[in-house]
């Protein structure tokens, strides 16, 4: 079975500082990996996804993530955080032949002035 761990429940970052949100997954074969963002009162929006190929993937809003098989990780990064990035971020894992995604419990990002 697949599982996803997001070790940080909350993270506070100063505006303009860099950001890294951690995601670790458990799955035997090559996973499909996703990062979603949820603004308050909204549904989830896809930021980026990894299926195969280049392990560094670019997403919307200036986000990127790197797949590291040796560490079973798919960490989300942004070089300079804006106040509008304050939201909850979810990592998810799927796989070829699976009909569902498994989500982590989320990391709430707070941006301080």
- Structure token pair of residue 70: 């040796």
Out of 13, 21, 44, 81, point to the residue binding another protein (CB under 8 A): 44
Report if residue 3 touches another protein, rule: CB under 8 A: no
Out of 29, 52, 54, 113, point to the residue binding another protein (CB under 8 A): 52
Stretch that binds another protein, among 10-18, 23-31, 47-55, 62-70 (CB under 8 A): 47-55
Residues that bind another protein (CB under 8 A): 9, 32, 34, 36, 41-46, 49, 51-52, 90, 92, 94-106
């Amino acid at each position: 079975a697949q599982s996803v761990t997001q070790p940080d429940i909350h993270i506070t970052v100063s505006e303009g500082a860099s950001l890294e949100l951690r995601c670790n997954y458990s799955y035997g074969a090559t996973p499909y990996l996703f990062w979603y963002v949820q603004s308050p009162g909204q549904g989830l929006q896809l930021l980026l996804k990894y299926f195969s190929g280049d392990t560094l993937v670019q997403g919307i809003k200036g986000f990127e993530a790197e797949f590291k098989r040796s560490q079973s990780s798919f960490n989300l990064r942004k070089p300079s955080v804006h106040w509008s990035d304050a939201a909850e971020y979810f990592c998810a894992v799927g796989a070829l032949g699976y009909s569902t995604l498994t989500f982590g419990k989320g990391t709430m990002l707070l941006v301080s002035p």
